[in-house]
Amino acid sequence: QSTPPGSQNYGAIAPTTNTAQFLQTPGNISAKRSYLAVGVLCYINLLNYMDWFIVPGVLVDITKYFNISDSSAGLLQTVFIFCFLLSAPFFGYLGDRYNRKVILSAGIFLWSGVTLGSSFITESYSWIFFLSRGFVGIGTASYSTIAPTIIADLFEKDQRTCMLSVFYIFIPVGSGLGYVLASSVTQAAGHWHWAFRITPCIGVIAVALLILLVPDPTQDAAEGHGGESITSTTQGADKKPGAQSTDSSTWCEDVKSLSKNRSFIWSSLGVTAMAFVTGALGLWVPLFLDRAQVVHDLVPPCLQEPCKSPNSLIFGGITIVTGIVGVITGAGVARRYKKINAKADPLICAVGMLSSAPCLYLSIMLAARSILATYVSVDELVWSSEWSTNYLISPIIYVVVPKRQSTAIALQIFVSHLLGDAGSPYLTGVISDALQTRQTDSHLGAFRSLQYSFILCVFIGVLGGGFFLLTALHVEEDRTEAQMMGCLSKSLENQGKYKHS
């Protein structure tokens, strides 16, 4: 029997289970093969986010090679995220109805092939490079949408939460490795094109491991074990067939109901603010640090590729190490705080956002005086932001009735990407270009314009923290209402079964 909403440990908090429980998996798939499958999927998730952040890792070289402005450089990431956003529901629909391993293999081949092809684009065809990033976004959407559903079907309840936490921890690791790979390969090979030729080779190995080692359990197997698989829509997928067999309400009715849920509305706005900030910083920070070093005469201006700058390598290392430390420390604090405060999840998100805002402000302002101080502030920024990213979904789970959880998460993911990281890289570039036209010194002007454009992210970060604080004001009331509605729905369902029998 399923546990009531709110009683499960969603997020990065390690569940408490006995050893025997971890040796059981749904269906006829052995525990050993299930854990092996998770390892393969984590490896591909690592590759997925490495491809995602290769462009930010060599953005200095790309802007010089194609001779594009800051706004055009920001549009690269916007095209990627927008195509990712639009194609995710389509892959969710396919993943619920057709062989998921085939879809995943096709997605990996698509993003790997396009990434490899983009490494041969000449400087006179920059529009093709923009188009290629859109296709890479489509390919990565197939994996981000479907892979978590396989893990959700391989395990049940607390096991599922633990395995998904392991899966998602590879997001900051893969992101950081994307910067590191792009920078190191460019410096070693002498041209940024070679950075786009490594991950496609790794992608071939990933497809082989996927086909040979990862099973494709049926959704029915997980449902039969009492699983409440919400992850099919965590990255924008549709609901699984039969997952809400007792739900007689329409999609519009679900959306109307969610619009009256204050905790859902405020937490969704908080997630959108976080996506806005991380989307802009993920693309622009290495380039910003490079411009700061030019102003300080620490490195010469880049006149031709490769641009010899260690900032992508350093920022990637910070993302990996500090991201993991942030996840672990945040989980430890949350595990203890939830025992004494029912509002722990939104409050942790609020603390992460509010503490990251001054760190961001210090990092951009100190860059004019000390690069070392900027690195320290960036380190604090990544650490504090990782506190909250692991608990963004948790408030939704227990303030929304089970039959509407999939719709709630799908809507939140869609809105947060559409209004968040889909536009923030481009908007930051537009502001930077507008400010740069008023500067006289080219190098100092390029630095100052990008520095001032980041101030918008500081305000958005504070706003996001405020949204999570508003979530905390209503979360207990909405949790109680969701539990009452869930119990009522379960009671009516059992009555219907009794009458039918």
Alpha-carbon span 168 to 150, nearest angstrom: 14
Is the predicted pLDDT of residue 30 greater than 80, yes or no?
A: no
Q: What is the pLDDT of residue 440?
A: 58
Furthest C-alpha separation in the chain: 82
**Region 301-309 average pLDDT:** 66
State CA 47 to chain mean position distance.
14
Considering 46-50, 344-348, 380-384, the range whose residues carry the highest mean pLDDT is 46-50
Q: How confident is the model at residue 90 (pLDDT cuts 50, 70, 90)?
A: confident
Residue 235 lies in a domain: no
Verify that 102 and 203 share a domain, yes or no.
yes
- Domain CATH number, residue 205: 1.20.1250.20
Residue of 449 and 245 predicted with greater confidence: 449
Residues 190 and 263 in one domain: no
CA distance 31 to 45: 21
Residue 4 within any structural domain of the chain = no
Which pLDDT score, from 0 to 100, does residue 493 have?
57
pLDDT at 453: 92
Q: Do 366 and 458 share a domain, yes or no? A: yes
Q: Are residues 86 and 162 in the same domain?
A: yes
What is the distance of C-alpha 361 from the center of its chain?
Answer: 23
Contact 350, 468 (CB under 8 A): yes
Report yes or no on 315 lying in a domain: yes
Task: Say yes or no to pLDDT of 418 above 50.
Answer: yes
Sign of CA dihedral 305, 310, 315, 318: positive
Q: Is residue 5 part of a domain?
A: no
277 lies in the same domain as 364: yes
How many domains, the chain?
2
Element (H, E) at 41: helix 31-52
pLDDT of the residue at 22? 41
Task: Quote the CA–CA distance of 12 and 82 in Å, as a whole number.
Answer: 28
Local confidence band at 316 (pLDDT 50, 70, 90 cut-offs): confident
Residue 417 has pLDDT above 90, yes or no: no
Return the structure tokens found at 392. 């963004």
- Report percent pLDDT > 90 for the chain: 14
9 falls within a domain: no
Does 5 have pLDDT greater than 90? no
**Same domain (yes/no): 284, 396:** yes
Task: Mark whether 413 and 485 lie in a shared domain.
Answer: yes
Instruction: Note whether 43 and 165 are same-domain residues.
Output: yes
Is residue 10 in some structural domain? no
Rounded to whole angstroms, what are the CA distances from 57 to 180, 364, 372, 416? 7, 19, 20, 24
Helix (H) / strand (E) element for 125: namely: none
Decide if 125 contacts 267 (C-beta within 8 A). Answer: no
Q: Does 420 share its domain with 380?
A: yes
Check whether 77 has a pLDDT greater than 70. yes
Query: What integer pLDDT is reported at residue 233 of this predicted model?
Result: 39
Local confidence band at 373 (pLDDT 50, 70, 90 cut-offs): confident
In a domain, 143, yes or no: yes
Which of 191, 226, 261 is the last residue in one of the domains? 226
Among residues 139, 83, 109, which one has the least CA distance to residue 200? 109
pLDDT tens-place string over residues 179-213: 889 888 888 888 889 989 988 988 899 999 998 88
Calpha distance 10→402 (Å, rounded)? 14
Distance between the two ends of the chain, CA-based, in angstroms?
19
Summarize pLDDT for 445-499 with one digit per residue, the tens.
888 888 899 999 999 999 999 999 998 888 888 777 777 776 666 565 555 555 5
Domain span holding position 363 = 249-501
Mean pLDDT to the nearest integer, 23-29: 54
Where do runs of H (alpha helix) occur along 214-261?
219-224, 251-258
Please check whether residue 219 lies inside any domain of the structure. yes
- The model's pLDDT over 48-75, given as tens digits with 9 standing for 90+, comes to 888 888 998 888 888 888 988 888 888 9
As a whole number of angstroms, the distance between CA 388 and CA 326 comes to 9
Residues 330 and 439 grouped into a single domain: yes
Q: Residue 9: is its pLDDT beyond 70?
A: no
Residues 160 and 303 in one domain: no
| CB-side neighbour CA atoms (13 Å) of 1 | 6
Name, of 113-122, 276-285, 325-334, the range with top average pLDDT.
113-122
Residue 173 has pLDDT above 80, yes or no: yes
Per-residue pLDDT, averaged over 295-315, amounts to 73
Residue ending a domain, among 179, 195, 226, is: 226
Is the same domain home to 261 and 210? no
